[in-house]
């Protein structure tokens, strides 16, 4: 199953923090697929929370309720939106290649939602990378390369071709499930099909 996500998506916190345990429990192999959700939203003229205070308040309360059910302890509201969204996802794209994407994503979301440090900015970047055993200066140099920028753009285009319009999204072949509340449905579909 492909897990299409963008660091910067608030609801993805709920998925990111429990996905490894669910992968083990379900026996379904999950491939982490970072993409640039901001690009997708702009392309679709879909800015979900900008200038929508009632919807934004609902989102934070909804995340808080769901997080409690999952045993998570976010500090709500977390800093949002993220100016460093693209850089955070460039780092994650490099992490896919180097095998540490899940560890990095979980560390950066934990610092963002539980420590108030925006993902894609310092000190979150360096602290998250050091936590998982990476050298921040080396990772940042590689993540800012044209090759990684291009790779993130390619992944974003692939997500859009598949029909991904938000984060988190789960895909089993061409079957798409959107939202953290569809994670269990996607895992069940992956097991049965």
Which pLDDT tens digit goes with each residue over 99-113? 999 999 999 999 999
pLDDT over 70, % of the chain: 97
DSSP string, 19-72: HHHHHHHH----EEEE--HHHHHHHTT--SSTT-HHHHHHHHHHHHHHHHHHT-
The whole-number pLDDT of residue 41 equals 84
pTM of the predicted model, to two decimals?
0.95
DSSP 79: P
**Cα four-point dihedral sign 158, 164, 166, 168:** negative
Question: What are the tens digits of pLDDT across the range 44-94?
Answer: 777 666 677 899 999 999 999 999 999 999 999 999 999 999 999 999 999
């Amino acid at each position: 199953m492909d897990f299409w996500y963008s660091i910067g998506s608030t609801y993805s916190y709920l998925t990111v923090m429990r996905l490894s345990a669910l992968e083990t429990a379900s026996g379904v192999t999950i491939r982490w697929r970072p993409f640039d959700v901001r690009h997708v939203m702009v392309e679709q003229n879909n800015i979900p929370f900008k200038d929508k205070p009632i919807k934004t308040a609902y989102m934070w309360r909804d995340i808080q309720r769901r997080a409690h059910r999952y045993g998570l302890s976010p500090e709500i509201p977390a800093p949002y939106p993220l100016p460093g969204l693209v850089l955070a996802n460039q780092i994650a794209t490099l992490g896919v290649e180097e095998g540490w994407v899940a560890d990095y994503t979980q560390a950066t979301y934990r610092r963002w939602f539980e420590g108030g440090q925006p993902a894609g900015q310092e000190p979150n970047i360096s602290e998250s990378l050091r936590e998982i055993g990476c050298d921040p200066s080396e990772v940042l140099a590689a993540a800012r390369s044209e090759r990684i920028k291009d790779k993130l753009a390619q992944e974003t285009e692939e997500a859009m071709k598949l029909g991904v319009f938000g984060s988190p999204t789960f895909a089993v072949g061409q079957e798409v499930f959107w939202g953290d509340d569809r994670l269990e449905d996607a895992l069940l579909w992956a097991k049965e099909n």
